[in-house]
């Protein structure tokens, strides 16, 4: 899933400082799962904005809505009535969401309430880890089912580099696994170490900026 | 192995001599005089001198310019190039530009991660890794083709090198990775600085067994220890680099003002030991910010004067 984190409330307050009516729009997709943009977080952020503005003696109206998804035009539609006389929309979907909102409402400012950080999964309860950089040419079959593009700090296709020590990457001060050690171990288990004897060549994905893909 | 670039370094190898390369890092600014001052200690000592490319991800003046400065001083450069900072367009362009300036030795590296340098927020590029860069330089030189398949108008004559770190993990894979680089086009290898001679000996045995020393010139990387402090730093903070206690004990055993001399003595012994090993084709002497001591190290190790080759 796409993993995103909440922006600091102060940053969001700055974005909407001149607004009297704001729609906070969440998403029931990935950001609900990673606890950053679901209906619960819509409620929390909306309250935070109201309280801060009230404390500053500058009340505003905040409307709450959580879309089924924000990466699909038909699920943006229910915002039509809410957005009508709003001064801005704060989208707490991944960064795809605000762009769909912007596309539908040409005259309404849209601000992101989240920082989208990566494509990944749960490492433990409430902790998410990056597993994919959406490079468009998945080659994990060559690498024991693990992705060196997202999980090696240098995106090496011919690792591990000299910074691999006792299974850890030199980046992250010993907290991050060296994915190339994991790849090596996996291929050894699978009896496929010979895969690593020949150089892996250039990533040959679609040219940058042309990565539109048909469904 | 046929002559590919005709650099002095390549000729020294081909004539069967043990080669010697030194290293000179450009300054963190435009002070070319400082760079020339350091380099002048190396003239006549190294068969060629490596010019580092923003090593440890710290901004310095670029290796292409520094290589040209060396050439103007009559010193042959080994231009280092890392894939961290440029995409394939920039990298290929610089290889061609370097060749146009007459640079004939190129060391292809991935480079230290930017988080270790002075601009940790920098966007990393890593469009290619060192192995891929080796292959692309080899292809431009031998096949006359860029990565895209476009024909080059004038092939870059480069003697191509790579690095190897026998001390990182997993150990048993290090020699296979070196083989990959050789398969991709590396004609010479300069190793990470060696302190653990036992592990290096094992590494070289594996390289010999795989026949790699027949296909590539392997140079042992030596960095003299200036002090106990430096030895401890290397041991603690450089990942995958082990400094045996034996050397630390030796440095501790002499008065502080004699530690540098002891460090040089250790380096000379290491050089001699490496040169005895089967498959070692030369020494890569990295006297970090200690260029002025290179002449005495080379003389004590019997590596001076250098062979004249044509």
Q: DSSP character for B140? A: I
- pLDDT tens digits along A45-90: 999 999 999 999 999 999 999 999 999 999 999 999 999 999 999 9
From the list B135, B167, B170, the residue facing A199 with the nearest CB is B135
Q: Of B126, B165, B163, B177, nearest to B23 (Cα)? A: B163
**What does the pLDDT read at residue B24?**
97
DSSP assignment of A23-65 equals EEEEESSHHHHTTSSSHHHHHHHHHHHHHHHHHTT---EEEEE
**CB atoms < 10 A from the CB of B74, how many?**
8
**What does the pLDDT read at residue A215?**
36
* Contact residues of B toward A, CB < 8 A: 84, 88, 110-113, 115-116, 124, 126-132, 135-136, 147, 163, 165, 167-170, 173, 176-177, 179-181, 183-184, 192, 239-240
| Interface probe, candidates A142, A143, A162, A173, chain B, greatest B C-beta count within 10 A | A162
Query: Domain B8-300 classified CATH 3.40.50.720?
Result: no
**A154–B180 CB contact, under 8 Å:** no
- pLDDT tens digits along A88-116: 999 999 999 999 999 999 999 999 999 99
Residues of A in contact with B163 (CB under 8 A): 162
Residue A212 confidence class, pLDDT cut points 50, 70, 90: very low
**Quick one: closest CA in A to B125, which residue?**
A154
From the list A155, A158, A164, the residue facing B168 with the nearest CB is A164
ipTM for the whole complex: 0.90
**A162–B173 CB contact, under 8 Å:** no
**A160–B169 CB contact, under 8 Å:** yes
Q: Where are the domains of chain B?
A: 8-300
> Above 60 in pLDDT, residue A206?
no
Q: Where are the domains of chain A?
A: 2-117, 133-196
**What does the pLDDT read at residue A213?**
42
Q: What is the mean pLDDT of each run of 10 residues along chain B (310 residues)?
A: 92 98 97 97 97 96 98 98 97 98 98 94 93 96 96 98 95 94 97 95 97 97 96 84 91 95 97 97 96 97 95
The kind and range of the H/E element at A170 are none
- pLDDT tens digits along A11-35: 999 999 999 999 999 999 999 999 9
| Interface probe, candidates A139, A149, A158, chain B, greatest B C-beta count within 10 A | A158
**What does the pLDDT read at residue B1?**
66
Domain A2-117: CATH superfamily is: Response regulator (3.40.50.2300)
Residues of A in contact with B127 (CB under 8 A): 203
């Amino acid at each position: 899933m796409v993993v995103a984190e909440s922006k600091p409330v102060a940053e969001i307050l700055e974005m909407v400082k001149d607004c009297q009516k704001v729609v906070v729009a969440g998403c029931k997709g990935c950001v609900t799962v990673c606890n950053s943009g679901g209906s619960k977080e819509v409620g929390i952020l909306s309250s935070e904005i109201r309280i801060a503005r009230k404390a500053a003696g500058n009340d505003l109206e905040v409307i709450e809505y959580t879309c089924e998804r924000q990466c699909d035009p038909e699920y943006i539609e229910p915002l039509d009535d809410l957005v009508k006389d709003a001064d801005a929309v704060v989208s707490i979907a991944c960064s795809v969401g605000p762009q769909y909102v912007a596309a539908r409402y040409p005259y309404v400012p849209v601000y992101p309430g989240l920082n989208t950080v990566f494509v990944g999964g749960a490492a433990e309860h409430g902790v998410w880890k990056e597993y994919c950089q959406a490079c468009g040419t998945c080659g994990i079959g060559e690498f024991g089912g693990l992705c060196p593009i997202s999980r090696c700090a240098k995106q090496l296709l011919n690792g591990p580099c000299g910074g691999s020590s006792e299974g850890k990457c030199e980046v992250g001060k010993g907290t991050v696994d060296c994915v190339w050690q994991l790849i090596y171990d996996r291929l050894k288990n699978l009896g496929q170490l010979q895969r690593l004897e020949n150089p892996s060549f250039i990533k040959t994905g679609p040219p940058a900026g042309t990565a539109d893909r048909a469904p | 192995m046929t002559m590919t670039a005709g650099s002095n370094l390549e000729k020294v190898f081909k004539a069967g001599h043990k080669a010697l390369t030194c290293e000179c890092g450009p300054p963190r600014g435009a002070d070319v005089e400082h760079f020339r001052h350091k380099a002048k200690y190396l003239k006549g000592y190294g068969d060629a001198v490596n010019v580092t490319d923003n090593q440890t991800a710290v901004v310095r003046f670029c290796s292409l310019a520094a290589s040209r400065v060396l050439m103007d001083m009559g010193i042959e450069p080994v231009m280092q190039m890392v894939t961290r900072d440029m995409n394939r367009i920039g990298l290929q362009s610089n290889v061609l530009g370097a060749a146009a300036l007459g640079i004939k030795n190129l060391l292809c590296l991935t480079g230290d991660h930017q988080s270790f340098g002075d601009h940790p927020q920098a966007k990393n590029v890593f469009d290619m890794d060192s192995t891929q860069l080796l292959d692309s330089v080899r292809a431009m030189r031998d096949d006359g083709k860029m990565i895209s398949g476009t024909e080059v108008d004038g092939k870059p004559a480069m003697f191509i090198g790579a690095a190897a770190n026998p001390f990182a993990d997993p150990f048993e894979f290090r020699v296979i990775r070196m083989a990959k680089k050789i398969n991709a086009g590396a004609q010479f290898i300069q190793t990470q600085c060696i302190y653990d001679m036992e592990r290096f000996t094992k590494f070289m045995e594996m390289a010999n067994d795989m026949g790699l020393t027949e296909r590539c010139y392997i140079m042992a990387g030596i960095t003299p220890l200036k002090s106990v402090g430096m030895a401890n730093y290397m041991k603690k903070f450089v990942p995958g680099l082990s400094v045996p206690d034996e050397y630390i004990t030796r440095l501790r055993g002499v008065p502080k003002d004699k530690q540098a001399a002891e460090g040089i003595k250790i380096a000379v012994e290491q050089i001699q030991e490496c040169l005895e090993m089967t498959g070692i084709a030369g020494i890569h002497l990295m006297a970090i910010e200690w260029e002025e001591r290179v002449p005495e190290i080379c003389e004590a190790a019997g590596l001076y004067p250098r062979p004249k080759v044509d």
